[in-house]
């Protein structure tokens, strides 16, 4: 198997990493999916990634039909609104990889395409987006981690993915226990994204305040309790505190700062649903969901008092 064509659906901070990498590939048919006004805007403005302007090919879902590899990097609410378009892009041979945070995007995709076409993955990247300007440190970005849901060996299509990315400035890692690793990253996102977003503080607060650290730790416990109920276990969370700048603001707080809606549904909402199905209480998660939703309403102008 050889991957000769790649389409990217969603070109935010994570998508920019692949625009940056695939733009340097030879003999690869690479495109970004868009149509209408958005296609016109991308073709006119391009993407400014680490200070350099990139203008990848832009195709409609119909024009990209039957691509070898489809990478989905939309926001969570964007995925729910794009399932029909994804159906139009992927034919029966297309390999589909969701790059979204969280633990249920593959389940959502399985409602419209054959689950056997989906490779499970997670992304590790620290990036900042302001308008169409995206910045990240390519040298320090861990990149893409991928694996098969029910197979701990590196399959033919994963070997093809490795072959595609090996000569490019895109880091690929095979992951034997991809579901456990997805939950581990999800737990980290829940624990460190949400308290700082509600409080409007840099990540240094986790080291400087026992109260902020308390919230972090309670959220991690709730994720582990729900994971245990689904027979999923994962190891200790990665401690990146020594590498984080004290003023660093992670994705949820970045969204609130920019007046955008967050992915609270993907983080809190999914855990609340999975917890309810098993009769597990997750009060700290529920608080974070309502607090962040209220901050979104404030940004929307629902109340200004």
Q: Which residue has the higher pLDDT, 131 or 162?
A: 162
Domain that holds residue 210: 180-298
Q: Domain check: are 27 and 117 in the same one?
A: yes
* Structure tokens, 178: 């991809």
Q: Domain check: are 38 and 109 in the same one?
A: yes
Q: Domain check: are 25 and 170 in the same one?
A: yes
pLDDT of 239 reads 75
For 69, phi then psi, to 5°, come to: -135, 125
Q: Domain check: are 28 and 120 in the same one?
A: yes
**303 within a domain of the structure (yes/no):** no
Query: Tens digit of pLDDT for each residue in 132-173?
Result: 889 999 998 999 999 999 889 999 999 999 999 999 999 999
Q: Domain check: are 205 and 269 in the same one?
A: yes
Q: Domain check: are 196 and 261 in the same one?
A: yes
pLDDT of 289 reads 98
CATH of the domain at 197: 1.10.1040.10
Classify strands 127-130 and 133-136 as parallel, antiparallel or unpaired: antiparallel
Nearest CA to 184 out of 242, 102, 119 is that of 102
- Average model confidence (pLDDT) across the chain: 94
pLDDT of 35 reads 92
Within the chain, strands assigned E span: 5-9, 29-33, 47-49, 52-54, 57-59, 69-72, 95-98, 118-124, 127-130, 133-136, 143-147, 172-174
For residue 129, pLDDT beyond 90? no
- Rounded to whole angstroms, how far apart are CA atoms 160 and 79? 26
pLDDT of 243 reads 64
**82 within a domain of the structure (yes/no):** yes
């Amino acid at each position: 198997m050889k991957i000769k064509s790649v389409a990217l659906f969603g070109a935010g901070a994570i998508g920019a990493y692949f625009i940056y990498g695939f733009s340097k590939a030879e003999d690869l048919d690479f495109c970004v999916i868009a149509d209408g006004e958005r296609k016109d805007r991308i073709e006119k403005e391009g993407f400014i990634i680490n200070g350099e302007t990139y203008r990848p090919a832009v195709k409609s879902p119909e024009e990209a039909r039957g691509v070898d590899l489809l990478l989905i990097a939309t926001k969570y609410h964007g995925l729910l609104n794009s399932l029909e378009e994804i159906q139009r892009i992927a034919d029966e041979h297309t390999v589909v990889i969701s790059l979204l945070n969280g633990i249920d995007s593959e389940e959502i995709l399985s409602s419209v395409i054959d689950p056997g076409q989906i490779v499970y993955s997670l992304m590790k990247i620290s990036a900042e987006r302001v308008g169409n300007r995206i910045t990240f440190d390519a040298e320090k970005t861990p990149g893409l981690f991928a694996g098969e849901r029910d197979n701990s060996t590196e399959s033919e299509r994963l070997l093809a993915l490795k072959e595609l990315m090996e000569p490019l400035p895109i880091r690929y890692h095979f992951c034997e226990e991809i579901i456990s690793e997805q939950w581990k990253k999800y737990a980290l996102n829940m624990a460190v994204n949400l308290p700082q977003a509600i409080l409007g503080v840099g990540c240094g607060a986790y080291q400087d305040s026992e109260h902020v650290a308390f919230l972090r730790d309670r959220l991690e416990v709730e994720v582990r309790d729900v994971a245990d109920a689904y027979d999923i276990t994962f190891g200790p969370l990665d401690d990146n505190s020594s590498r984080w700048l004290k003023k660093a603001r992670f994705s949820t707080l970045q969204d609130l700062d920019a007046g955008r809606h967050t992915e609270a549904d993907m983080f809190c909402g999914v855990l609340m649903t999975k917890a309810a199905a098993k009769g597990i209480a997750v009060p700290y998660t529920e608080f974070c969901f309502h607090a962040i939703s209220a901050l979104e309403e404030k940004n929307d102008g629902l109340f200004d008092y």
